[in-house]
Chains A and B, each alone.
Chain A
């Protein structure tokens, strides 16, 4: 959740958005979307519960936007003014975004100082905090079915010898 990050970095010249996708862990209280009305209602509940002030863009029912960007449950992208992808991650981590935004602020300063810069490609391994208790609480918000479905998937992964890094939290 990048709400605190948005509060801090919006004044420094960054726009922050939230794109609302399909329910990652549908349950009795928040089931999988079957209408836009339902999806908008879920997005509204999300806004309220998380006190989200960032604009929320609700993707269509087919997940058109979500699929263009990778269809993962909690990605972060940073897009530059040129319309180019500057950063992408397969999970969202505030301290990682903070690092990247400071990097971009530094790039802006160097350009202003007259330095000539060229873009290049880099990758790095990110590390995000995992909080199983908080994650379980999140599943409970969706409903008992969401809790069951995740437990079943965890069992399957464990029996398949899936590495711990894949475990959500």
Chain B
């Protein structure tokens, strides 16, 4: 129940421009360890970790969506 609410809150259905650009500046500084998280690799459907990629090479990560 609570998770469903969280999902609906994160995945807003109406854009309101409430992103926190100011908070971004201090959230995670350069020089800090990059947080790791699991994700679904679209090409294969398997679960990968972000850190799988930075172990071998410097990684350029773009965050975004279709819209």
The residues of A with any CB-CB pair to B shorter than 8 Å are 1-2, 5-6, 9, 13-27, 30-34, 36, 40, 42-47, 49, 54-81, 83-88, 90, 92, 97, 101, 104, 119, 121, 138-139, 141-142, 145-146, 149-150, 153, 156-157, 166
CA distance A145 to B5 in the complex (A): 22
A49 and B66 form a contact (CB under 8 A): yes
B39 and A22 form a contact (CB under 8 A): no
**Given contact pairs A76-B62, A84-B31, A55 touches B14 in the complex (Cβ within 8 A):** no
Within 8 A of A (CB), among B40-67: 40-43, 48, 50-51, 53-67
Q: Report the minimum CB–CB distance from A89 to chain B (whole Å).
A: 9
Question: 1/0 contact trace for B16-38 toward A, CB 8 Å?
Answer: 11011101110111111111111
CA distance A51 to B32 in the complex (A): 33
A16 and B60 form a contact (CB under 8 A): yes
Q: Report the minimum CB–CB distance from A159 to chain B (whole Å).
A: 13
Among B3, B51, B61, point to the contact of A77 (Cβ < 8 A). B61
Q: Which of B23, B34, B36 has the most CB of A within 10 A?
A: B34
Interface of chain A, main secondary structure: mixed
CA distance A31 to B13 in the complex (A): 7
Among A66, A85, A141, point to the contact of B34 (Cβ < 8 A). A85
Residues of B within 8 A of A2 (CB): 60, 62
Residues of A within 8 A of B19 (CB): 71-73
**Given contact pairs A13-B58, A58-B39, A66-B63, A22 touches B30 in the complex (Cβ within 8 A):** no
For this complex, 15 residue pairs linking A to B, each with C-beta atoms less than 8 Å apart, are A15-B58, A19-B64, A22-B12, A23-B66, A24-B15, A26-B11, A27-B67, A30-B67, A42-B65, A62-B7, A65-B37, A70-B23, A81-B57, A146-B15, A166-B17
